[in-house]
Amino acid sequence: MILFMLRIVEDYVRKAEAVVYNIQIQTSSILVIVTIMIFFFLSKKIGLFTEKVFTRILIGAFFCLLFDILSIVFICNDDTLPHLLVEISCKLYLASLISMAFAGFDYILTELLPEKTYHKSIMIFFTVIPIESIVVFCLPVSWYHKGRTVYSMGPATTMTYLFAFIFIIATIYTVITKRDRINKRRFIATSSWMALWMITAMVQFLNPELLIVGFSIMLGVLILFFLLENPASLHDKRVGCFNSHALFLFLDQIFERGEKYCITSFFFEDNTSDETLGTSSNIMMNTATFLRRYRNIAVYKNLENELVMLSKSPELTDKIVTEYRDHYRAHLVRIAKERSRTKARVSVVTLPDSTLVKNSDALFSLIHMTKDASSSGSSLVIQNVDSENLKKYYRFHEVAAEIRSALDEDRLEVFYQPIFSTERNCYVSCEALARIRRADGTLISPGEFIPVAEDTGLIIRIGDRVLEKVCALLSERKEISKILDYVEINLSVAQFKQADLFEKFVEITSRYGIDPAKINLEITETASIETKNTLLDTMKLFLDHGVSFSLDDFGKGQSNLMYVVEMPVSIIKLDMDMIKAYFVENKAKHVVSTTVKMAHDLGLHVVAEGIESEHELDSMRNENIDFIQGYYFSRPVLKDEFISLISKAG
Ligand code: C2E
Ligand code: MG
Ligand code: MG
């Protein structure tokens, strides 16, 4: 009896020893999975659909490891348990292995396919996987355990390895062939996960007693979690909200799905460089705390000084913004008491419907455009993107697209307007003026496209093209240089910011064999204010090279006589507004007379722009204006018409 009891105990200990030996890895792996689950489920998520896929993977991994442990325990106790129960436990484990092998492929599909296509293709797999599992369930399975060695085998096991192998190969193939379209981190995560799977599956297939597949499942989940799905990587710890990476991931998703969201940007700016007054960052922290009170919104930190709030409800957004206005005022009063004064400024811009734009780039340029359009000096500016802003935004992008296509398809044209000398009574120069010819033959005027070109940087390409065309014309039609002293070409501020402006000019003019003295560059006062330091150095390079300068648009906006003194220009061009004013206001008349006198005293010549009638011409002659430009002589015209005009006059 005692011997029998001892044998039972001994048998029990032996089995327990085999079980413990074989489930050590699986148990520690399942503990790691549970820990990740706790971190993942407890942290605030943004609502990405990849988060759902990862949740599926986590749950799948948990059950796979659980069935693995269960099957080992059951196999070790097969003498006491019903055969069917052991068989079911083994097959459950095998079926869960197939789903886990598919998980990697599933994850890659989220990156490669648009969401709708992803959902369609995933439905196919959700049909294939149960079919494969049924096949495995129908095939016989056997198992082996002796001492510490435990494993399952037979057709069901072989078939499982085959199905898993197909999924792994499909994933590896997709990752490699589509690597250009896969985000780098996802590429690393998925390919290392799959490589791990391949190695462990092969090792376990060849050595069934090494039960390491469960371990590699846990490692795969760990890699995914740390490289891609760790919610901590989507948080801005300082401000206590989501970060811009999270924002753009989520925005990409809502634009792809065409979801309607109400998007509000809060911009925090300091109007002073005084650090002690630099309260914008405090106000941003305070705003983030204020916004945290509300449910059903998500707050993200975008740029260094911008918070973005997303909400599904325009009413809720209105309520929050209104309450924020009061909160902000109260906060300012508090700051004012503590620090005597504040120079911070907050701009709040809301786009009530995200479906009005196509992507996040468009969204933020629209929001920024609306913010910049406000001229209010108030410390809190609240605006909505209205239909006017939207129209302006679309027009801006249409024009930018027109400029790009015109440059690519050589539809940028140069018109020429002659400039008449009152002293010599003939044309002595001309101004080159850019035009964009639409594909349908109509023209876009510079008034419309130059500001867009300046904002988008396309002005650089326009400037180069205009210079190229002027040089080509001067080298092709030598008579122009005989009749005219030089051609005036406009230069924008943005062009002066190029480090290689002078080198490019020299390259283009010398390629066409043009004498630099035949070019006069028109600069504006804005150019001289904004880039004054580098401007003078660059101008010197041009002057030494023989190029002369005109000061364009003099009298438009706030003219500063000091610039005339400081800038090495040889001509002052009186703006059309000033000329028009000359004929209606006595004061303007004095200004023109004085400017002409001053310019002459400084040894400069004066051009009057916008002369449209004989009366205007005569008045300008009486004022001793040197040169006349205006519709009275000619509108800007195309090169052939221009050449015949100056040739006839000559
Ligand atoms: P701007 O340099 O002051 O050029 C003179 C503008 O006055 C031209 O307008 C010309 O057509 C117009 N104008 C001349 N005479 C008369 C007149 O008698 N009556 C009236 N009503 N207008 C007259 P446009 O060609 O529309 O150019 C507008 C502005 O666009 C230019 O002003 C210049 O600032 C800019 N722009 C034109 N081409 C270029 C370019 O190639 N590069 C750069 N950066 N700016 C350019
Ligand atoms: Mg000009
Ligand atoms: Mg002008």
Place 119 in a pLDDT band, splitting at 50, 70 and 90.
Answer: confident
- Give the residue from 263, 237, 238 showing the smallest Cα distance to 248: 263
Give residue 82's pLDDT. 92
Note the pLDDT tens digit of each residue in 573-604: 999 999 999 999 999 999 999 999 999 999 99
Q: Which atom of ligand 1 is nearest to the CA of 459?
A: 44
Q: Which atom of ligand 1 is nearest to the CA of 631?
A: 18
Instruction: Classify 395-649 by CATH class.
Output: alpha beta
- Residue range 40-48: mean pLDDT, rounded: 88
- Residue range 281-291: mean pLDDT, rounded: 89
**Mean of all residue pLDDT scores within the chain:** 89
Query: Per-residue DSSP letters for 136-194?
Result: HHHS--EEEEETTEEEEESHHHHHHHHHHHHHHHHHHHHHHHTGGGS-HHHHHHHHHHH
Give residue 543's pLDDT. 96
> How far, in Å, from the CA of 152 to the mean position of ligand 3?
88
Give residue 45's pLDDT. 85
Place 271 in a pLDDT band, splitting at 50, 70 and 90.
Answer: low
pTM over 0.85: no
Among the bound ligands, the one closest to the CA of 415: 1
Top pLDDT among 23 and 529 is at 23
Q: Rounded distance, CA 345 to CA 379, Å?
A: 4
For the cut 90, the answer to whether the pLDDT of residue 146 exceeds it is: no
Top pLDDT among 488 and 15 is at 488
Place 608 in a pLDDT band, splitting at 50, 70 and 90.
Answer: very high
For the cut 50, the answer to whether the pLDDT of residue 298 exceeds it is: yes
> How far, in Å, from the CA of 446 to the mean position of ligand 1?
7
> How far, in Å, from the CA of 620 to the mean position of ligand 2?
19
Give residue 278's pLDDT. 47
Which residue carries 């490692």 as its tokens? 219
Among the bound ligands, the one closest to the CA of 550: 2
Place 331 in a pLDDT band, splitting at 50, 70 and 90.
Answer: confident
Instruction: Give the list of residues 6+ apart from residue 610 with CB closer than 8 angstroms, or none.
Output: 575, 576, 579, 580, 629, 630, 631
Q: Which 3 state secondary structure label does DSSP give 292?
A: helix
> How far, in Å, from the CA of 579 to the mean position of ligand 3?
11
Residues 2-229: name the CATH superfamily: Rhodopsin 7-helix transmembrane proteins (1.20.1070.10)
Question: Whose Cα sits closest to atom 20 in ligand 1?
Answer: 610
Q: Which 3 state secondary structure label does DSSP give 531?
A: coil
Give residue 277's pLDDT. 43
Give residue 604's pLDDT. 95
User: In what order do the strands lie in the sheet containing 241-242?
Assistant: 235-236, 241-242, 297-301, 306-311, 262-270, 344-351, 380-384
> How far, in Å, from the CA of 649 to the mean position of ligand 2?
23
Q: Which of 609, 615, 625, 638 to mutate to test the pocket of ligand 1 (most atoms within 8 A of CB)?
A: 609
For the cut 80, the answer to whether the pLDDT of residue 279 exceeds it is: no
Note the pLDDT tens digit of each residue in 6-37: 677 777 666 677 677 778 888 999 999 999 99
Among the bound ligands, the one closest to the CA of 553: 3
In percent, the amount of the chain with pLDDT more than 90 equals 57
Q: For 487, which DSSP code?
A: E
Q: Which atom of ligand 1 is nearest to the CA of 453?
A: 44
Where do the domains of the chain lie?
Answer: 2-229, 233-385, 395-649
- Residue range 218-234: mean pLDDT, rounded: 89
Is residue 222 within 8 A of residue 32, CB to CB? The reply is: yes
Among the bound ligands, the one closest to the CA of 413: 1
Q: Rounded distance, CA 224 to CA 104, Å?
A: 10
Is domain 233-385 annotated with CATH 3.40.50.10490?
Answer: no
CA dihedral 120, 125, 130, 136 (to 10 degrees): 170
Q: Rounded distance, CA 643 to CA 485, Å?
A: 14
Residues at CB less than 6 angstroms from ligand 1: 417, 433-434, 445-447, 450, 459, 463, 466, 490-492, 522, 552-553, 576, 609-612, 629-631, 636
Q: Which atom of ligand 1 is nearest to the CA of 415?
A: 25
Q: How far is CA 411 from CA 350, 402, 445, 637, in A?
A: 38, 10, 13, 16
Give residue 410's pLDDT. 96
Give residue 180's pLDDT. 85
Place 342 in a pLDDT band, splitting at 50, 70 and 90.
Answer: low
Question: Whose Cα sits closest to atom 46 in ligand 1?
Answer: 490
Q: Which atom of ligand 1 is nearest to the CA of 495?
A: 44
- Residue range 451-475: mean pLDDT, rounded: 96
Among the bound ligands, the one closest to the CA of 629: 1
Residues whose CB is under 5 A from ligand 3 (ion)?
A: 552-553
Q: Which atom of ligand 1 is nearest to the CA of 524?
A: 34
